[in-house]
Amino acid sequence: MIFRHIVNRISLRPRILFLIDAFGAVLSAFVLGVVLVRFESIIGIPRSTLYFLAVLPSIFAIYDFYCYLRIKKNMVVFLKGIAFANLLYCCVSMGLLFYHCQKVTYLGWIYMVVEIMIVIAIANVEFMTAAGLTSKRNSST
């Protein structure tokens, strides 16, 4: 499976996941808070919702950059933390989409569903990497 291959490669340098997640979060915050706001009428997601959604990945990016630069031990806890946060973001995003479903256009749905799928994939890799680190740690003791 492709996730297993990615996890095996990343497990050699698991801190890189924080950097990948951080850059993805910055990109997401920019697209939501700057680009999509300009196309509110085309995507149908209200401006206030886009701004709210943009704040969340901005916070995640700060967390990720901090973890990448500072965390050397107990990475499992921090990887699981950002993975859970990413999944929570997906739930909030989907909830807001359904809340505004009368306004959201097909383009809005497509963008958000694709973003959610990408974030879920990243969270999955983060969880799998954390599990791999845990099993390595347990087998070495």
Q: Residue-wise pLDDT tens for the chain (141 aa)?
A: 676 777 777 777 889 999 999 999 999 999 999 999 999 999 999 999 999 999 999 999 999 999 999 998 889 999 999 999 999 999 999 999 999 999 999 999 999 999 999 999 999 999 999 998 887 767 665
24, 124, 113, 4: which is closest to 65 by C-alpha?
A: 24
Q: Count structural domains, the chain.
A: 1
Which position has the token pair 């995507």?
Answer: 43
The three-state secondary structure class of 14 is: coil
Task: Say if 4 falls within a structural domain.
Answer: no
* Residue 66, H or E segment: helix 47-70
Task: Say if 99 falls within a structural domain.
Answer: yes
User: Which residues constitute the domain of residue 98?
Assistant: 14-132
Sort residue 73 into left (φ over 0), alpha (ψ -120 to 50) or beta: beta
Cβ-count burial of 121 within 10 angstroms (0-12 exposed, 13-18 middle, 19+ buried)?
A: middle
Task: Say if 27 falls within a structural domain.
Answer: yes
Task: Say if 7 falls within a structural domain.
Answer: no
CA–CA gap between residue 20 and residue 122 (Å, rounded): 9
Which position has the token pair 């499992």?
Answer: 76
How far are the Cα atoms of 21, 47, 50, 59 from residue 92, in angstroms, in the given order?
A: 18, 16, 12, 15
Task: Say if 9 falls within a structural domain.
Answer: no
Task: Say if 18 falls within a structural domain.
Answer: yes
Task: Say if 8 falls within a structural domain.
Answer: no
Measure CA of the first residue to CA of the last residue in the chain; give whole Å.
Answer: 29
What is the pTM assigned to this prediction?
0.90
